[in-house]
Each structure stands twice: as C-alpha cells, then as structure tokens.
Chains A and B, each alone.
Chain A
Amino acid sequence: MADGHKLEIFRGLVKFKSNTQKIWGVLAFLTLITAVEVVLGIIKPESLTDTHVLGMKLINWIFIILTLVKAYYIAWDFMHLRDEKSSLRRAIVWTPIFLVIYLVFILLVEADYIYNVYKDGFVSWNF
C-alpha cells in the first residue's frame, strides 16, 4: 500500500520531494491540459479543423488524446494506482480498455452504416 509513494512522474523526468508536492504538481499539469482544451475549443484553429486523420478532424483527435492523458494522471496519481501492485493495476486498467474499444468499434461502424442507409435510402427524413 501507500507507505512508499512513487514520487516520479513523466517517466522520472520530474521528481517530487513529498507526496503532497506531487499532488499539487499533478494538479498544475491537469489544469494546464484543461486550459489548452478550452482555448482550442474556443479558437478552433482552421489548420486543425480542416485536417482529417483516420476520418476524424485532427482537433478531435487532440481532444481525445488529451483526455486520455488526463485520465492517466487522475488514475495513476489521485487514485494512486502508481503505488499499487502491477497485477492489480493491469486487472483494473486493461479490462475496461479492451471492452470499451470493442464496444466503440462495433457501435460506431454500425452507426456509420445506418447513416448511409438514411442518406442513400429511399426514405425522406427532411420534411
């Protein structure tokens, strides 16, 4: 358990002196990411909204990746998964990740198919 805290984040790039300090450091990092997200969301730079990567706007990829980064630090440092045994950590993290990827893949592919049926089918939706 949490008697011995691991005080390094960013793969050892930043090392804090105490657990309390690490908490404030992580808060600063999470706030920074949220601020970047909000600023990007308000400005919506054209270079990011016009570029498409894998069928989605680049800006949306950036939002999703930043969200996952935030989720990582909340789970690792606030929920102190960093200090747990790796077997517990893996059981907690990989189970939902596997199931969610599976579910999202199936639902989004299916939704895109339905979109095309609505679009090309002989049914009028706009009246």
Chain B
Amino acid sequence: MNSTVTTGTETSVWGGGNQPLGASYGKLMMWFFLVSDALTFSGFLAAYGFSRFKFIETWPIADEVFTHVPFFHGNYPMIYVAFMTFVLIMSSVTMVLAVDAGHKMKQNAVTWYMFATIIGGIIFVGSQAWEWGTFIKGDHGALETKGGRILQFVKADTGERASLSDFAASLPGDRVIHERKNGLWFYQESSLTTVSLDEVVEGFKADPNILIRTELINEEGEKTLLDRKASLAKLAEATLVVEGANLIHNEYGSRLFADFFFFITGFHGFHVFSGVVINIIIFFNVIIGTYERRGHYEMVEKIGLYWHFVDLVWVFVFTFFYLV
C-alpha cells in the first residue's frame, strides 16, 4: 500500500502512482495466482466430468464408496465428508477473524485466530489422509473381469453388500508372493489378496444366498443386480480378485474414479498442506511482532485469501465428488 520510495512521479499515471484497482501489489499478485489456480482445478474437475459423462451408466455411486466414519462401525454415507467440509469452513472463519483483528492491529487476537486456523487445517489434512487410507484399504472386495469390469457381491435375503471373506471357501494352496528373490529377478507382484479367485468362485457356488451386482446403473439409479443363474454365468468371466483401490484396480467400480479421486483430492490436500505450512510461518511472524513493526497486517490478509480459496475449491470438490 504505502510506497517507501519517493521519486516525485507517483502522482502521474505513467509513473505508477495510480492504483486503478485499489489493491496493493502483493494482493494483486495473490489474486493472479488464485485465478490461475482456480483454472487448474476447473481443468481437473472438467476432466472428471468428461470421464464421468463418458461412462455415465457405470460410474460408481459416491454414497456407496465413502461410508465410513472413524471409530464407528456401520454405514454412514457422507457424514464424515460433511464434517470435513465444516472443519474447513470453520477454519476459514477463524482466518477471516484473524484478518479482521489485523486491521485493528490486535496482535494477540491475530495470534490466537491464526493458531485456530492452523489446527483446523491440520484436522482437515489428517481427515483426508484417513479417507485415503480407508479408500485404498477397501471395503468388501470384488472381482474384476477380463474386460476390466467390476463384479460386486450382495446377500440375496437382506440386500446388503457381501464381503468376499463372508462366503469364500477355504482352499489350501501353496501360492506364494512372487518376489524378485524367489522368481524372475525383473518381476515382482504386490501382496496377494486375502482370498484367491478359486476360493471366491467355489464359495459363491456353495452359497445360494449370494448374488452378483454389476457396474451398470438401472433406471432407479441403483446398480443392477443379477439373478442366481446370470450371476453364475457372469462369474466365469472373472479373472482377478480386487481388494481396495489403487491407480490400476478399483473394487468400487471404474478405475478412473479412483484415479481422479487420488489426483483431485490429493492436489487439494497438497494445497491445504502448503497453506498450513505458510500459516505456521506467518503465525510465528505475528508472534515475534514482524507485522506490528511493519505497521500493517497485510501478509495475514494475503495468506487469508489463499486459505479461503482452498476452502472454495473444497466446496466444489465436495459437490462434484460426493454429492452429484
């Protein structure tokens, strides 16, 4: 805001004395960055929309994917994500209160509000890490067919999802993990699934209460359930047991869903993480009185803009990933 150099040309437009947008250099640059970052995130979300419209009939239903809450068992779709959203909005509020206190030059208030903001950010990043962990670990397990389609299992009497371990037969086998040291030196596989394909197939044949659910979404907006006969026919196409999700296999359905989940929430989580780091730096600057001596708290305002932007992006991610 306040130029420290006096050259005598500040009053003329070409001398740079004119501020047509009424904002300081630092704030304008922050806005430049935020607009370009907004376009980056829009690109990601638009690409997500592209893939989703491409596979509109088989896309996973988010309510069935994100159903867990830490420390509680059971099926609670969306609750935890809503909590995360609230935490982020709340930390946005403490941030804007810090900016407000900064305008009034209240060093103590700024310190505490910044502290609360940092705590909120850490809770959010931790929640996201937990969400990733749950997603990667998987829920019920599924089979993948030759064409890369996912087959999930449902109990016929209750309509609930059946986990592979619920019905898989126990067939003693001596299949071991292929590691570099015990097989081809240039090839290794990831850890074996808890049940093998044969065990799932045998268990399925023995238990008439289990049906197969395909990826296809029917007119009621639910995944299509096959009857027993069609299930048995479908089972012959399975080639692989999938437990959890990674960039290549995804037990929840389309693998693109997992790819975009990791990419978009990961990129957003990285933003929150760097926001927390910058917040911590500025928090200590506030404590040692840097901005008190400088005479204004505009730095808090600038990181505030970034922090609100991260919140803003999450609002869109929340809608397009979890709600729509």
Q: Which residues does A use to contact B, with CB under 8 Å?
A: 1-3, 19-20, 23-24, 27, 30-31, 34-35, 37-38, 41-42, 49, 60, 63-64, 66-67, 70-71, 74-75, 77-80, 84-85, 87-88, 91-92, 95-96, 99-100, 103-104, 107-108, 110-112, 114-115, 118, 124-127
Contacts and interface: CB of A to CB of B under 8 A. Distances in A.
Given A20-B100, A111-B53, A118-B54, A41 B323 contact: yes
B324 interface: yes
**Interface of chain B, main secondary structure:** helix
A104 B41 CA distance: 12
A87 B28 CA distance: 12
Of B51, B52, B53, B63, most buried by chain A (CB within 10 Å of CB) is B53
A88 B39 CA distance: 17
A74 B56 CA distance: 31
Contact of A71 (B20, B21, B216, B312): B312
Of A35, A103, A104, most buried by chain B (CB within 10 Å of CB) is A103
Nearest to B90: A27
A63 B321 CA distance: 12
B156 to A, nearest CB: 23
B82 A1 contact: no
A60 B43 contact: no
Contacts of A19: 100
B147 A100 contact: no
Interface in B82-111: 82, 85-86, 89-90, 92-93, 95-97, 99-100, 103
B89 A31 contact: yes
A71 B310 CA distance: 11
B123 to A, nearest CB: 16
Given A1-B22, A100-B39, A108-B49, A74 B147 contact: no
A2 B49 CA distance: 38
Contacts of B56: 112, 115
A2 B31 contact: no
Contact of B146 (A84, A85, A127): A127
Interface string B25-64: 0001001001100110011001101111111110000010
21 contacts: A1-B23, A34-B86, A38-B82, A74-B92, A74-B308, A74-B315, A78-B92, A78-B95, A79-B312, A88-B22, A99-B39, A103-B43, A107-B46, A107-B49, A107-B50, A108-B53, A111-B49, A111-B50, A111-B51, A124-B147, A126-B216
Contact of A114 (B24, B54, B93, B95): B54
A126 B309 contact: no
**Interface of chain A, main secondary structure:** helix
Interface residues of B, number: 63
B43 to A, nearest CB: 7
Given A60-B324, A88-B22, A96-B39, A67 B77 contact: no
A22 B292 CA distance: 26
Contacts of A108: 49-50, 53
Nearest to B1: A1
B78 interface: yes
A124 B78 CA distance: 35
Contact of A92 (B31, B149, B237): B31
B62 to A, nearest CB: 9
A24 B89 contact: no
